[in-house]
Amino acid sequence: MLKGPTIGRMISCAVLCCLMVLGAGAAATAQKIHLVMGHYTLHDEYRELAQIFMERNPDIEVEYLAFTSYSDFVNKMPVMIASNTAPDVFAVHHLDLVDWAHAGWLMPLDEFAANDPIIDLEEFFPFSINAFRWQPGSYTVGEGNLYAMPTTYQTAGVPFFNMDIFDNMGLAYPDETWTWDDELAAYRRMMIDADGDGVYEQVGSRIPVNREARFMPRVWQAGGELINADYSKALTDSPVVAKVLQWLYEVGPVHLAASNSAGSFEGGKVGITYSGQWSIPNSKWYEIIPFRYGVFLHPKHPETGSRTIGARPDGMGVSATSAHPEAAWRLLSFITGPEVQEIRATRDYMAVPHIPSAVKLYQMGGEGGLPHFYYVMTQMLIDVHPTYYLGMQAREIGNIVSKWMSDAVNGRSTVAEAIANMTQEIDAVLKSIRE
């Protein structure tokens, strides 16, 4: 159940009355349209939104279909699509967009969006929209028709820091001058083994094995890429990628201490962690963290000066086989429109793609359990890698990157072996796409 007052109480009475009057007119001349909306998470919220939508639009009834998990969702969707029983409006994970659009599961939304009185695509973070654009014949996102609307927009690589630890250690807070070298130096300063038993009571950070938070942004910041522009060849065998993996391997002993002693960031003994913005609402950081914590810009590369990160939206789309596309768009427009976006951001602390709503959230930093200096997220989410790694078979490619990055960082393989295997396996996937 969502926190605070119900969404309905927070919505403008004037808008509510106006839309109910319009909806009542439609209901008087036609039978109710039946829509099915499906998602694999936030079930209480989507049920509540469906109820409010029906109150505003009495000509439409919405049945909510709750999938038990993402795995349940992706396993059932192909069968439902084939049998023409798929939901009219359903979740679209960022890693699935190209494959699903290519398969013809999703309806293009450009004309609906262009004629919608409440949706202004210019008010959304650019990549939150472009990540759901796909051009037939292309292997990646970025251009072409719009196949989904974003519901969240966030990065897995937010640098959070424990302000109390920095204060106690006499360390200046991270700022825009920080480089990778400053970050590593701070990690070393924060390590405490008071009794010399090899078990650290406090550490600088966690072991760096997350591809989205630690590896991919550093490759981009160093001037490298993982895949070439036409999505036909892996570029992971470059000197840049080798240097990044070597850097992560060399800082491994610093991070490794956190994996078996001081515990989690939430426990107050880890100075810096990289995590997704979703940790704040999903793990209830706003309730459980007892110390002051903040956000800082990703440290820049010491040579290129870049601090580019990756960001990702998740969204919802309309089934290409929906019998009621106009009504389905009305539902989707309501869920992804600015009114609901602002409520989700400022009441539920969700990272939303709508810039004005997101800015209101980030300006609340330091209040209600939110991190201090949260406003820097606005800058971080605009300066993102333009294509990220979203293309056909993106999930499989991501798993390959994660495996070999983790093996190299943890010393299970050499950097050279990890790069060779990563490159060979990614190339095999890219080749299979074209066969």
pLDDT averaged per 10 residues in sequence order, the chain, 435 residues? 45 44 46 96 95 97 97 96 96 92 96 97 94 91 95 92 97 96 91 84 78 88 91 94 89 61 82 92 94 96 93 94 98 97 94 96 95 94 72 86 90 93 95 88
- Cα angle 208, 345, 86 (rounded to 5 degrees) comes to 85
Give the tokens for residue 70. Answer: 């993402």
pTM of the model: 0.86
Q: What distance in Å separates the CA atoms of residue 242 and residue 83, rounded to the nearest whole number?
A: 48
Question: Angle at the Cα of 139 (from 135 to 143), degrees rounded to 5?
Answer: 30
Q: What is the pLDDT of residue 263?
A: 72
Spatial contact of 160 and 376, defined as CB atoms under 8 Å apart = no
Q: Tens of pLDDT along 298-323?
A: 999 999 999 999 888 999 999 999 99
Phi, psi at 105, each rounded to 5°: -80, -25
Q: Is the dihedral of CA 419, 424, 429, 433 positive or negative?
A: positive
Tokens representing residue 395 in the block: 């999930």
For residue 317, which phi and psi values (nearest 5 degrees)?
-135, 180
Domains and CATH numbers, the chain: 7-152+312-362 (3.40.190.10), 158-309+393-434 (3.40.190.10)
Give residue-wise pLDDT tens across range 225-244: 999 988 899 999 999 999 99
Residue entry with tokens 């929209």: 129
Q: What's the rounded Cα separation, in Å, for the pair 318 and 268?
A: 44
Neighbouring C-beta atoms of residue 32, cutoff 10 Å: 14
Determine the pLDDT at residue 255. 59
- Give how far Cα 312 sits from Cα of 86, 149, 154, 161, 186, Å: 25, 13, 6, 22, 29
- Structural tokens at position 121: 């695509």
Name which of 33, 291, 2, 51 is nearest 162 in CA terms. Answer: 291
